[in-house]
Structure 1
Amino acid sequence: MKYPQLVFIFLFSLLLSTSLQARQLTVQAVSEHSSNSQNQYPLDGGILESDRGYFTIGESGVFNPESWAISYKNQKAGFLETRDQSVYLTIFETSGEMIVDRQLDFFDVNDETLKLYLFDNGRSVTRDNVANFTFFDPDGELIYSLSNSSQSSEGERESELAADAYGKTVVLYNPVISYGDSRGSRAKVVFSEKDQHVFFRDESSQILQVKVSESGSYITLLTGDGASYGVNIFDRFGNELNQFSFDDEKKGVAISDDAQFVTVYSGGRTQVLNALSGERVGSTSSRSPVIYSRYFEEDDVILVFGGVQEGNRIDRPSMSAIHIGQRQILREEVNESLSIYDVERIGITRLNNNNYRIDGLNRSLKVEVGF
């Protein structure tokens, strides 16, 4: 073999190797979570573990709480627990130090609609009796209470709350309100006891999901009636910015931090739209059910987290990365099953160029993409 041929083969092999190394997708648990079991959820500097109804944080424990929550960025953990036929609100630092222990007067221990919502600054909100919400400060002192009842004579489902990590923008909504033969919904923003207003009402579509952006500046509503679906985008004051309609089923929505792009996903398909013009930026299909998806305009990449969800367990989890401009797809399986305690808390954050982190799981995942 002649020398020029050897040089050519060497250069070709080097080029192929570089290309293969560049086009890769790696998914691995962040080091501090890598040993977490299915029943261990990460806190900022600690772990919340559940074992047959017993929850522990550091040296502290709570048995069979009526409701429990981890704040949006894992800064606090809280519980609604029953003691001596009374309901108590308890909130812990991630070290296990108790910072709130308050008896909630007039709460019924048999109320099946009790729920706790917790913010990273220690503020909290409780729900009771289907539609009553009580707001507490970081010390557990009551700020105010209000009702979110629609007053429909036909009935309604339990009200829900959506907010950003610090409760800057709070949305209370009625996912399902009965109006005779139809099912409707409504949503309102709450800034204080006297500063609240309904910004969305529909007597023929149910609210499937409400998301407040990370900055608290934008609100997205996903609605549907089983035949058609819609996405409405509002600013934090409830002023509508745009709306989109779809003929196929939609499961979830993610909006970019600047509200320029909205990602809409269903069981096996993801679409990215320009939130201002409605123009479709890109779309992709997935071999596994989509659990969460989001578009990152800085990298022109759609990330799709998928798997088979059964209760709080995710089997056969996988990650797909789709570069819209290059029309390339990378896919990687996650070796172990994962768990969640609230699917609405799953989110993907961009760390830097082509590097991301998935939170809301028992093990946060670091994702690195190379195209």
Structure 2
Amino acid sequence: MTPKMFKILLFLLLPSMALGQSLNLSVTEQTADNNRSTFTLGNSKVTFSSQSIRFLDSETEQNYDAVGVSSDNSIISTLTWNGQEGEITLFTPKGEKLNTFSTVSLADETSFGLYPFNNGNTLLRDKIANFTFYDPFGEIVTSMSSSSQSTEGEAISEVARSATGNTIVIYNPKIKRNGELGSKAQVRTGDKEFEDIFFSSDRYLKNVTVSKDGSLIAAITAKNGTDDRVLILDKYGNELNTISAEEDLRGISFTDDLENITIYSGGRVMVHNTLNGESLGATSFSSPIITADYFPKDNLILALTGNHSERSGTLNSVELRAINLRQRSIASQQFRSPLGLNEVIELRLIRNSGNSYILKGGNKNILIRTNF
């Protein structure tokens, strides 16, 4: 083949190569009719309003002052408060009542937080930094306080947990002392034992994530005037690696094999080796990133972008983008309707098979098919 003929053939092939890169979106049949406040959990549907949940299978409704959903979406817990005492009720997504039990005395509804686990255990944040652990029968297993006792104030303590609840991290995102913002984190090591795994007097915690199996913990720390850092620990608090980034980091996810970690800011996704920090690739976005993950079997980054309204819980201008790191190619597709989100339901990108994925956790489950 002469050089001239090769150039002509390459020119003819280029359009088909570009057309071969595509991303197709469709809504699962089970979620197609959901409105923005209706979510499919398992094979059942529930609708959330500001202070109540309706179980569509049983046509029952439950009021709440706080609500939580387990990681596998099999248990929904509600807290109702009468001004002093509280009552926790556990439901299946069908609306079947599993148990109801009274809580410790409650005093501050602005800080209530409810975290049910797949096995029926429940964690209740009953004050700004106080937590009580209940077993499936409503018996108190233990309680703890993560308060820093700072006279200058602290933020409401937060919870990060593995899918099974075998690793639970309770952390103070911001503690103010001497004009500086610090933070601390503790991990539950036994039924009644907690150990400090992080403490800083001048770096605050923006986000903490626990791997699905509970063996690794990643924390984003920040300080004005410095790069954000991702601190990677084992579940005992031993430091394994630190990755720095100039970006204003927001979220983290581990790959299922734990070998890689995806880090994202509002406009950039980065993939690194978990233990040595080596960069596998990165990509930038013009729209705000809501969540992102890396799938090593396909050498693929998937990212969801859009404009999120916390007040309405709606994601507008929804777009999904796929980046093949091996081929250095990109495909994207807009989702033509707003997506309803709820802070108690985890938003997840899941691999079905090669070139097939699903976004779960919104009011619509979105099937994603890529072609590179």
Q: Which amino acid aligns with 1:331?
A: S
Q: Which amino acid aligns with 1:74?
A: N
Counterparts of 1:232 and 1:244 in 2: how far apart (Å)?
7
Question: How far does residue 226 in structure 1 lie from its aligned partner after superposition?
Answer: 3.7
Q: Is 2:164–2:212's contact at 8 Å kept on the other side of the alignment?
A: no
SS in 2 for 1:216: coil
**Aligned pair 1:107/2:106, yes or no?**
yes
Q: Which amino acid aligns with 1:105?
A: V
SS in 2 for 1:294: strand
In the other structure, the counterpart of 1:30 is 28
Counterparts of 1:84 and 1:186 in 2: how far apart (Å)?
31
Counterparts of 1:171 and 1:52 in 2: how far apart (Å)?
28
Q: Residues 52-105 of structure 1, C-alpha deviation per residue, up to 9 Å, x if partnerless?
A: 533111333122x21111111211111111248531101101110111211213
**Aligned pair 1:136/2:128, yes or no?**
no
TM-score (norm 2): 0.90
Q: Which amino acid aligns with 2:282?
A: S
Tell me the percent identity: 32
Counterparts of 2:267 and 2:142 in 1: how far apart (Å)?
43
In the other structure, the counterpart of 2:61 is 61
User: What are the residue-to-residue correspondences of 1:187-206 with 2, within 5 Å?
Assistant: 187-206=185-204
TM-score (norm 1): 0.91
Counterparts of 1:35 and 1:249 in 2: how far apart (Å)?
37
* Distance change >3 Å, CA 84–CA 147, structure 1 → 2: closer
Q: Is 1:235–1:241's contact at 8 Å kept on the other side of the alignment?
A: yes
Q: Which runs of 5+ in 1 are unaligned?
A: 1-10
SS in 2 for 1:149: coil
* Distance change >3 Å, CA 141–CA 59, structure 1 → 2: farther
Q: Which runs of 5+ in 2 are unaligned?
A: 1-8
SS in 2 for 1:298: helix
SS in 2 for 1:237: coil
* Distance change >3 Å, CA 50–CA 273, structure 1 → 2: same
In the other structure, the counterpart of 2:325 is 324
User: What are the residue-to-residue correspondences of 1:37-76 with 2, within 5 Å?
Assistant: 37-51=35-49, 53-57=51-55, 58-63=58-63, 65-76=64-75
Question: How far does residue 298 in structure 1 lie from its aligned partner after superposition?
Answer: 0.8
What is the aligned-residue RMSD (CA, Å)?
2.2
In the other structure, the counterpart of 1:270 is 269
Q: Is 1:226–1:249's contact at 8 Å kept on the other side of the alignment?
A: no
Q: Which amino acid aligns with 2:221?
A: T
Deviates more, 1:81-90 or 1:33-42: 81-90
In the other structure, the counterpart of 1:307 is 306
SS in 1 for 2:190: coil
Counterparts of 2:290 and 2:274 in 1: how far apart (Å)?
21
SS in 2 for 1:112: helix
Counterparts of 1:191 and 1:351 in 2: how far apart (Å)?
34
How many correspondences in the alignment?
Answer: 358
Counterparts of 1:321 and 1:343 in 2: how far apart (Å)?
26
Counterparts of 1:335 and 1:253 in 2: how far apart (Å)?
27
Question: How far does residue 235 in structure 1 lie from its aligned partner after superposition?
Answer: 1.4
Q: Is 1:42–1:74's contact at 8 Å kept on the other side of the alignment?
A: no
Deviates more, 1:328-337 or 1:209-218: 209-218
**Aligned pair 1:172/2:176, yes or no?**
no
